[in-house]
Amino acid sequence: MGAAIIELDDVTLGYERHPAVHHLRGGFASGTLTAVVGPNGGGKSTLLKGVIGLLRPLSGRISVNGVDRRDIAYLPQQADIDPRFPISVLDTVLLGHWRRMGAFRPVTRAMRAAGAAALAAVGLEGFEARPIGSLSAGQRQRALFARVLVADSPVILLDEPFTAIDAKTTADLLALVLRWHGEGRTIVAVLHDHDQVRRYFPQTLLLAREAIGWGDTEAVLTPDNLRHVRAMSEAWDTEAPVCERGAA
């Protein structure tokens, strides 16, 4: 296992002073495939937003090593794309080239070819000219995976990529994730399906605001840990006083 490409140093992330991720320490090692699991409101999505810099930590530090933070490929939960916007599937996928083209540089023929190849890889060959709004939810997720594919990033963050997606699409996209893992990319995926995590994801972070477990999946997803998480999620305090930990 390589050095940690994403390091979390006593990180607290949250909204309006309420921590969603509380004093988290650890790292995602280069080339690992990690599932982030835990209860709703446990801070999983918040953690990903913190890593790509959409959310600034309330305290602590998140460092990304060897990669520009903006080059991390990130697929948010239910991407807030406007489905009625008049843009084609291919143009949507080509946005994955952003770090090479930015606001001004031209889209080259090679970039277009990469976009078309990515569409073929996610099973959307022939959909290039279709408006994005004409796709089903599963097809749209395939297109967004194609955009991640085009970005060709060494670090990929996926937030609930298989929620509300049919079984066939899930299987296809999961195969793509495993291919990325085989290519040595670092992948962090927020997931809910524990069986899926046990079968395909070697590493797991069990997050319920604090890390309940982080490491090899079978050592983390134990009945004890899961019971502990359930007890915690029922005991959350909305009127919590100011946290003094680490203040000294």
Partner 1 sequence: MSLAASLGDWLFGPFLDFGFMRRALVACLALALGSGPVGVFLVLRRMALIGDTMSHAVLPGAAVGFLIAGLSLPAMSLGGFIAGLAVALLSGLATRFTALEEDASFAAFFLISLALGVMIVSLHGNNVDLMHVLFGSILAVDDVSLVLVAAIATVSVLALALIYRPLVVECFDPGFLRAVGGRGGAVHLVFLVLVVLDMVAGFQALGTLMAVGLMMLPATAARFWARDVWGLVLAAVLVAMVSGFVGLVASYHGNLPSGPAIVLCAGVIHLASLVAGPHDSLVARRLRRRHLRA
Instruction: Considering the complex, state which of residue 22 and residue 142 has its C-beta at the smaller distance from partner 1.
Output: 142
Choosing from 87, 111, 120, 174, the residue that interacts with partner 1 (CB under 8 A) is 87
Span near partner 1 by CB under 8 A; candidates 11-19, 72-80, 117-125, 182-190: 72-80
**Geometric angle at alpha carbon 55, from 54 and 60, rounded to 5°:** 135
Q: Is 236 in the site for partner 1 (CB under 8 A)?
A: no
Q: Is 95 in the site for partner 1 (CB under 8 A)?
A: yes
Q: Is 130 in the site for partner 1 (CB under 8 A)?
A: no
| Residues whose CB is less than 8 angstroms from the CB of residue 212 and which lie 6 or more positions away in sequence, other chains included | 38, 206, 220, 225, 228, 229, 232
Q: Is 137 in the site for partner 1 (CB under 8 A)?
A: no
Span near partner 1 by CB under 8 A; candidates 35-43, 71-79, 180-188, 199-207: 71-79
Q: Is 17 in the site for partner 1 (CB under 8 A)?
A: no
Residue 46's alpha-carbon distances to 14, 42, 69, 227, in angstroms, are 7, 9, 16, 23
Q: Is 89 in the site for partner 1 (CB under 8 A)?
A: no
Residue 150's alpha-carbon distances to 89, 109, 184, in angstroms, are 13, 14, 16
Q: Which secondary structure element, helix H or strand E, spans residue 214, and what is its range?
A: strand 210-216
* In the complex, least distance from residue 81 CB atom to partner 1, rounded to whole angstroms: 4
Q: Is 131 in the site for partner 1 (CB under 8 A)?
A: yes
Collapsed DSSP state (helix, strand, coil) of residue 71 = helix
- The residues binding partner 1 (CB under 8 A) are 52-54, 69-70, 72, 74, 76, 79-82, 85-88, 92, 95, 98-99, 103-104, 131
